[in-house]
Chains A and B, each alone.
Chain A
Amino acid sequence: MKKIEELRVVRTDAPPDVPARLVEDFTPRLVDVGAHHLCPGCGEPIAIRSLMEAIDELDLVRRTITVFGIGCYTAFSNNLDVEVLQALHGRAPSVATGAKRARPDSIVVTLQGDGDMVSEGLQEVLHAAARGENITCVMLNNGVFGETGGHMTATTVLGQRTKTSLEGRDPVAHGRPILLADLVARLDGAAYVARCAVNSAGNVARTKRVLLRALETQALGAGFSLVEILTMCPTGWFVETQEAPDYLADNLATVHIGGVLKDIRANHGQKADDIESR
């Protein structure tokens, strides 16, 4: 964790000196409109893109129902060429459960943030995992409530400055972060649990691979899968856009440690994922 005094505060009350511009349209097939209203440097569009590409590559597009939580990423909920069911903040796992049980042949994927899944809805994801619900939950973890403007969540790391932990998250005043993937991996009902990040080209490729593996787990009916993706939130972290990937590596990724935490298919003699297992 960097010392607080080393971190500069980025002005967000005025447009940047050099406006952002679209260099080339790399919009994947299942995203209807490439432009979006999320901040420059946000990791969530990369994660959503990876998820859409994984669904497409496994040829699951005509079977998939995605269940969205509430956060910045909800901006993509009416912008995808996959079916979307909008859930309340924290409640996507139970809604996904109902959809999956009613249509067992469908592939049901939740998309939630850390505020959504871990702060507001921890009980939901834990029970869904414990039930071995045959769904995939995807958590975009940036350690902050991005949509409200940078407030502390249940995954905010110690020392991290937010608008509700101005001097940095303090274990006495604010408690310690919940390491969700580690928690879920301990539940017998969980079949596949992985944590990855989108702060480098290599990590984006790894993210895609764990998403493929999670979706395969569901398609095989093997049980509950969770993919936790660390995403950049320069606005909510109060750092420069270009510094966000390193900030993620230095702060979030040293606490929420990446890797495949559980893969029951690998444990049964099948080929293990090529991501290093802990």
Chain B
Amino acid sequence: MSTPASTASTRRLLQGSEAIAEAMIAAGCRFFAGYPMTPFTEVLEHMARRLPEVGGVCMNAESELEAVGMAWGAAATGTPAATGSTGQGLSLMQESLAEITLARLPLVVLNMARAQGDYWQATRGGGHGDYRHIVLAPVDVAEAVELVQLAFHLAATWRNPVLVFGDYYLAHTARSVDVSTLDFGPAPSTEWALTGESGGTGQAKLVSFLGSAKQRDDVGYDLAVHYTACADHTAAMLRDVVPVMDTGMTEDAEVVVVAFGTPGAYIRAAVRSLRDEGLRVGWARPVTLVPFPSTDLANAVRGAKAVAVYENNTGQMVDDVRLAVLGAVPVEFIGGVSLDSSGFGIAPDLDVAVLRRRILDVVERHA
């Protein structure tokens, strides 16, 4: 074996939820709050067991509203914090998530989603006002271990919530992974954070979604100034965070198939098997959903005759693909809602034979 012993000893067979929990702790997360809901539940379970062991706090909140509120309070003290749920639970949290963003607080939010119907919720946000979250969509447990840690780094760097978009497969698949702390360089300053200690100094800190300028000379908040400053910050974030996309065999592809998250792995397998038969197909998988890898995608599909988009929903990311391609190549939706009797578990369509047929249909009509 050429594998170093140190690496071998750190690899463990972990269920996705446990790997995500371990990755959060490795990234420095010391506060977690959640409300049980499948398939998010096991993340909460593992955090409840593990966080106290490292001096952190995990709260089994009384609702998603309180879970996000607790995470908000902890984040405001500069404590690396996270919360999460399914898309349904995140719907309840949207008001807070919007204001947490406008209060410029770092927070990691997990969506262990039921299928992929939350793409719009994740990438546009279901809350009010002008705000965006960075959204990362891991394809499997190993990538999730990295992206979860990246999420904490980006949240702290940009003082902005970062959402990690997972699903039932990610939560419940066991895989041998190495969860060691990734080095992203020095931790950003938390000088802005509340400690209680700045009171009485004449410079007591204020953390507010209404703006953090203290009232002087009998004036209140100036929301237009604050919201514009937040929008400028968001624009800088969306410009400077490097979009990530995973691609394969797009160079000479006549049809490029786009998918994110777990379905990306099935599409990759289907494309490879079609390639083995000599068909010029390729695949592209956005890893960052926000910022969306529009330029990379436009380049990847240059020369293709068609782009096919698979999502386990009725067609959401396909909008972003069309915006990226800007009419240069026809974009077809080959996804659809696929659920088992639970409504959130195994998708019958996530079957290489099924996906091959759908891709072949696009190839036959365009190539």
Contacts and interface: CB of A to CB of B under 8 A. Distances in A.
B213 interface: yes
A65 B198 CA distance: 9
Contacts, number: 164
B194 to A, nearest CB: 5
B74 interface: yes
B101 to A, nearest CB: 13
A94 B65 contact: yes
A269 B214 CA distance: 44
Interface residues of B, number: 53
Contact of B215 (A65, A79, A99, A101): A79
A27 to B, nearest CB: 12
Given A62-B200, A83-B198, A127-B62, A101 B70 contact: yes
A112 to B, nearest CB: 13
B69 A97 contact: yes
Interface string A91-102: 101111111111
A102 B31 contact: yes
Interface residues of A, number: 47
Interface string B304-334: 0000000000000000000000000000000
A35 B199 CA distance: 20
Given A83-B204, A86-B103, A103 B195 contact: yes
Given A88-B95, A98-B70, A123-B63, A82 B210 contact: no
Interface string B17-38: 0000000000000110100000
B72 A95 contact: yes
Interface string A72-115: 00110111111111111001011111111111011100000000
A178 interface: no
A98 B207 contact: no
B118 interface: no
A82 B204 contact: yes
Nearest to A104: B57
Contacts of A244: none
Interface in B210-266: 210-218, 220-221
A214 B229 CA distance: 39
A115 to B, nearest CB: 16
Give the 3 A-B CB pairs with smallest separation, nearest first: A98-B73, A94-B69, A86-B208
Interface of B: 30-31, 33, 57, 59, 61-63, 65-77, 79, 81, 95-96, 99, 103, 194-202, 204-218, 220-221
25 contacts: A32-B214, A32-B215, A77-B210, A78-B206, A78-B221, A81-B200, A81-B204, A82-B204, A83-B194, A84-B204, A84-B205, A84-B206, A85-B76, A85-B194, A86-B208, A86-B210, A88-B95, A94-B72, A95-B76, A97-B59, A98-B33, A99-B76, A100-B73, A102-B81, A123-B63
